[in-house]
Amino acid sequence: MHWARWGDPALAKPLPDAVRNLVMGALGVSGEPTLAVEMEDVRLPEGTLPAEFASAVEALLDAEYVRTDHETRVRHTRGKSTPDLLKIRSGDGSDAPDSVLLPGNHDEVQSLIGLCAKHRVAAIPFGGGTSVVGGLAASRDDFAGVVAVDLSRLDKLIGVDPISQTAELEAGLLGPAAEVLLAEHGFTIGHFPQSFEYASIGGFAAARSSGQASAGYGRFDSLVVGVKVATPIGTLELGSAPANAAGPDLREVVMGSEGAFGVITSVTVRVRPVPETRVYEAWRFGSFVEGATALRILAQGGPTPTILRLSDEAETFVGLAKPNEVGAADASGCLMITGYEDTAEHVASTRAAVTEILGGLGGTVLGEEEGASWASGRFHGPYLRDSLLDVGVLAETLETATFWSNMTALYDGVRNAVTESLTAKGTPPIVLCHISHVYATGVSLYFTVVAKQTEDPLTQWLEAKSAASTAMTDVGATITHHHAVGRDHKPWLEKEIGPVGVEILRAIKERIDPAGILNPGVLIP
């Protein structure tokens, strides 16, 4: 992962001419480069770790797994949200950990957490570093220092139960590596969020991630049957059965906890046989409302494809741009993607049934070529954001969810809030949206916002984000469907869960982490 961008530097590309022409014309951007400082010019805080703590860590871990060099600290500073990138590109490394620790197993993680609690050192669990909600910037207030507990050495497939179709994986495994290991046994998790190539198994659970194939495989939290967690008061192991009535499900306390209650060291998940056939297909609907209605009918009555996505008119217009043109004649209406992953027989029967339903609801099939094109670029969106930032364009995403009956109010509310905020800055935006996940009862909306940067793009975006977040909670939608809370969404969490919900979270935090050293400042209002 690049230290100031997304992903593999070799895959970074300049803006396509069509997109460059669009943003320069519509947003009034000059296109002058606004590149990052050099890594050695990133300003880091002076380390403050107590000598006794450092000595205890050195006695626990080999020297190569205790790192305080400049580059390692920079690479473990914050996550990959646009605010995170704007800060690091400007040379602001003020949230860097004092040290990066790389334990090799659960017991070493448990020991490190104990040392952090004893010496009042804040500990940030670090998996793939892909947080987009400020989830990797610990507060230094009242702490003796900050360390990142990097889980990348916890990268093993512990075991597969082919009869029960479950697998236990260590938390530091990244998505692609986990899939390779499972494929050797004929299985897949089927969890493919946009961050898939760089996010970790532990991170998927800690953030309650939802993949692009959630319509078929389910959200990651719905796949988790067991977890192992290192906490300041001991080890928590859960998952003795596929379901139980033994009180509240404590797995749900761990999932979504973002490292605030403990460090997840392994996750046991439901797996499925590697699909025999994968087919992706594109459809066009005349309007976003028509397409959303079609998605609802499929979600509520079936059959349900593995993948169901719908872009609104604006996203379709931009997303179907040809190499040298934007808004071609075939970019009208709204683009829908359907995907099928299963046995050849099941794919054929499901696809035939879905085709009949969508055709009857006014959809026009565009074929497999457009669907395959989407699938081949499904993980590349963040690279485009970097290219936009390079030419002075502010670019970021927002996501939320609500019930079907509330979808239009949410869609209009967020678009209007973002547009009003950025227009007031003299930078009217382009706001795109797609339906990313569907349920029988509701839907997730995923917005992309681009605008000309002001001289202070960080404040510019934070104000727009605040307006959008308030619009979400004002209409009764969730503040986040799958990006988690982190720091960025925390101010709106109490409105969503209420004062009693906040007290429950605080009570858990106080009992399980009395010194408050686990990712302080994240999640808990």
Average pLDDT, the chain: 94
Using DSSP, state whether 103 is helix, strand or coil.
Answer: coil
Task: Specify the range with the lowest mean pLDDT, choosing from 7-11, 157-161, 339-343.
Answer: 7-11
How many domains in the chain?
A: 3
Which pair of structure tokens corresponds to residue 438? 């569907």
**pLDDT, average across residues 457-482:** 97
Q: Is the pLDDT of residue 23 over 90?
A: no
Q: Examine residue 354 and state whether it is found in any structural domain, yes or no.
A: yes
- Report the percentage of the chain scoring pLDDT > 90: 87
Query: Which two structure tokens, joined as six digits, stand for 483?
Result: 């990006």
Helix axis angle for 381-390 and 82-89, nearest 10°, is 40
The verdict on 356 and 415 lying in the same domain is: no
In a domain, 35, yes or no: no
Determine the distance from the C-alpha atom of residue 233 to the mean position of all C-alpha atoms in its chain, rounded to a whole number: 29
Say which CATH number the domain at 291 has.
3.30.70.3450
- Residue 380, both tokens: 């590349």
- Residue 275 carries which DSSP code? P
| Residue 524 pLDDT level (bands cut at 50, 70, 90) | very high
Specify the pLDDT at position 230.
98
E-strand stretches of 8-156: 66-67, 99-101, 121-126, 145-150
Beta bridge partners of 227: 238, 267
Final residue of a domain: which of 209, 238, 273?
273
Domain containing 227: what range? 157-273
- Mean pLDDT, residues 421-445: 97
pLDDT at 324 over 80: no
CA neighbours closer than 13 Å in the CB half-sphere of residue 188: 14
Is the pLDDT at 109 greater than 90? The verdict is yes
The pTM of the full predicted model, rounded to 2 decimals, is 0.94
Residues 83-86: contacts with CB within 8 Å, 24+ apart? 83/134, 83/458, 83/461, 83/462, 83/488, 84/131, 84/132, 84/134, 84/136, 84/137, 85/4, 85/5, 85/386, 85/389, 86/389, 86/457, 86/458, 86/461
Q: State the Cα–Cα distance between residues 77 and 70, nearest whole angstrom.
A: 11
Asked if 291 and 342 sit in the same domain, the reply is yes
Using an 8 Å Cβ cutoff, are 191 and 379 in contact? no
184 part of a folded domain:
yes
Inter-residue contact 65 to 160 (CB < 8 Å): no
Asked if 183 contacts 175 with a C-beta cutoff of 8 angstroms, the reply is: no
Average pLDDT value for residue range 205-228:
96
Task: Report yes or no on 101 lying in a domain.
Answer: no
Residues 6+ apart with CB under 8 A from 288: 310, 312, 313, 334, 411, 433
**In terms of domains, do 325 and 362 share one?**
yes
pLDDT at 326 (0 to 100):
42
Same domain, 181 and 268: yes
Q: Of 273, 289, 318, which marks where a domain is finished?
A: 273
Q: Are residues 386 and 441 in the same domain?
A: yes
Q: What is the pLDDT of residue 325?
A: 40
| Per-residue pLDDT tens digits for 111-133 | 999 999 999 999 999 999 999 99
- What DSSP character marks residue 35? P
Same domain, 341 and 255: no
Which residue's entry shows tokens 């959200």? 219
Counting residues of the chain whose pLDDT is more than 70, the rounded percentage is 98
- In the block, tokens 């906890």 appear at 257
319, pLDDT greater than 90: no
Same domain (yes/no): 285, 265 = no
Model confidence at 331, pLDDT cuts 50, 70, 90, reads low
pLDDT band for position 330 (50/70/90)?
A: low
The whole-angstrom separation of Cα 129 and Cα 382 is: 14
107 Cβ contact list (under 8 Å, min separation 6) = none
* Cα distance from N-terminal residue to C-terminal residue, the chain: 31
Flag whether 414 is in a domain. yes
Q: pLDDT per residue over 219-272, tens digit each?
A: 999 999 999 999 999 999 999 999 899 999 999 999 999 999 999 999 999 999
Contacts of residue 328, defined as CB under 8 A and 6 or more positions apart, other chains included, come to 320, 321, 322
Domain containing residue 249: CATH number = 3.30.465.10
Assess whether 302 and 359 both reside in one domain. yes
